Structure 1
């Protein structure tokens, strides 16, 4: 396992993107699919989701993820999380939610009961921009998903330059996003560390987004692909080559 979180800044600004696999504690993960993830060569695994997430099912999934040889990341979204051995803890801040609860309130609640046990040196605020209006996270947070380029540019500047948030995560949550928009943002802010997640099921999609974003997240493909091992291999090769 890798414990040094400094690796996440290496790829910003044009180097090879990293591949992260997102696993949802609220969804059943068959052993054959887990074995495909385990052998995928992905740079890391994120454990997190929006619906039906509890401390118990989070801990259950973590028992599998604990031995993964890459980065092991937990999204801090539920109270009572007892996982203390993750390499990174991502605290999601939904930047395009009109209710400040999803920027700071929910996060402070999730962290409140873990005082004294939080490994702060491994905790990262992540600026999420939710862009799929039909997604569970958009409906939960009432995110303003119909943002134009100027509004998105404002979020990039606010998060990257004003707030110093280390990563901006463009979350299309299950649908293929706007690659041209990602290209325009990358051209405008070449050094802003950007993550893309949403709808990647094959090599060309992964290759396309890896030209503009520093980290690529795949999620639904883990649960839906007919040949997951092959899909993950092709996605990884597209990103790395």
Structure 2
């Protein structure tokens, strides 16, 4: 079952090249788990290839499901995004319904976690794919966080800035709304300082792009997050 005390996750894109040496450093960094997921170029072949490479290590590995075609057995956990601020119902429950018709009978529900996404960067690929058309304000984020916890009872509310660094005050305000639902933060964590700042408010910090641009700094975020006390 998913461990609620996870503080730090690395997110690896199966469509991006990563050396065996780099992967070993990531897997043995002390991160709580590795998430496999992305938006473009995700295929069953590259997902399975990355899974096999990570399986040489003891770190838990998660598939964040972005396409039905890339769903595979063999992961420890499955994160299922539902985009709360999408304008297309397909990204809220349409694909989910389609996937469960095909794979529902195979699922171990103790391994499945639904993430209520709020996409904050309108220029990112995920926003364009999910047809997010309006920039969320602080009030919007608060309402989406309340929706995740009180209306839908989701285990995770995910503030996704996707390549850009978010506004700490908005993340802080989202954190104030949540008691049972955990707050995930992703986006622009490319320095230790940024990792520490957002770790004050979010339960779990997702580190992705910097793995491919500055691996040394990416690895330093693990201890930075775990040594930072959450104050909200």
Change (3 A) 1:81 1:118: farther
Moved over 6 A (4+): none
Q: Establish whether residue 105 from structure 1 lines up as the match of residue 94 from structure 2.
A: yes
- 1:67-102 Cα offsets, whole Å, 9 max, x none, are 432321111222244532322101110000011110
| Deviation, structure 1 residue 141 | 0.9
Indicate whether 1:194 and 2:180 are aligned: no
How many Å separate the matches in 2 of 1:115 and 1:233?
36
Cα distance in 2 for partners of 1:158, 1:67 equals 39
CA deviations on 1:104-154 (whole Å, 9 max, x unpaired) are 112233343324322222111110111111110011112145111221111
Question: Could you say if the C-alpha distance between residues 145 and 217 of structure 1 is closer, same or farther in structure 2, counting changes exceeding 3 Å?
Answer: farther
Pairing 1:73-222 to 2, within 5 Å after superposition? 73-81=62-70, 83-189=72-178, 192-222=181-211
CA contact (8 A) 1:78 1:110 kept: no
The 3-state SS of whatever aligns with 2:197 is helix
Secondary structure of residue in 2 paired with 1:161: helix
| Residue 235 (structure 1) aligned to one of 201, 221, 229 | 221
Alpha-carbon distance change, 174 to 65 in structure 1, aligned in 2, over 3 angstroms: same
Contact 1:126–1:167 under 8 Å retained in 2: yes
Deviations 1:199-235 (A, max 9, x none): 111111000000000000001011111xx1x323421
C-alpha distance in structure 2 between counterparts of 1:168 and 1:68, whole Å: 29
Paired position in structure 1 for 2:230? none
CA distance in 2, matches of 1:210, 1:106: 32
Q: Which runs of 5+ in 2 are unaligned?
A: 228-232
| Higher mean C-alpha displacement, 37-46 vs 144-153 | 144-153
Offset at residue 189 of structure 1 (A): 3.7
Task: Give the root-mean-square deviation of aligned CA atoms.
Answer: 1.7
- For the pair 1:18 / 2:7, whether they are aligned, the reply is yes
Which TM-score applies when normalising by structure 1? 0.88
TM superposition shift of 1:50: 0.5
Q: How many residues align?
A: 227
Residue in 1 aligned with 2:46? 57
**Structure 1 counterpart SS, 2:218:** helix
